[in-house]
Copies of this chain bind each other. A is one copy, B any other.
Amino acid sequence: MTSPLRFLPTPVSVCGPADDEPDLRPAEGAGVDEELALLAKAVGHPARVKILRLLARRNTCICGDIVDEIPLAQSTISQHLKVLKKAGLVQGTISGPRVRYCLRPRGLRRLRALIGGL
Contact A43 B108, CB 8 Å, known A33-B50, A49-B36: no
So how many copies of this chain end up in the complex? 2
The interface centre, meaning the residue of A37, A38, A43, A112 with most chain B CB atoms within 10 A of its CB, is A43
Chain B residues positioned under 8 Å from A33 (CB to CB): 46, 49-50, 53
Do the beta carbons of B118 and A56 come within 8 Å of each other? yes
Q: How many residues of A contact B (CB 8 A)?
A: 26
B108 touches A112 (CB 8 A): no
Known: A112-B115, A115-B112, A118-B108. A46 touches B37 (CB 8 A): yes
5 further A-B contacts with Cβ under 8 Å, apart from A40-B42, A40-B49, are A37-B43, A37-B45, A43-B115, A103-B118, A111-B115
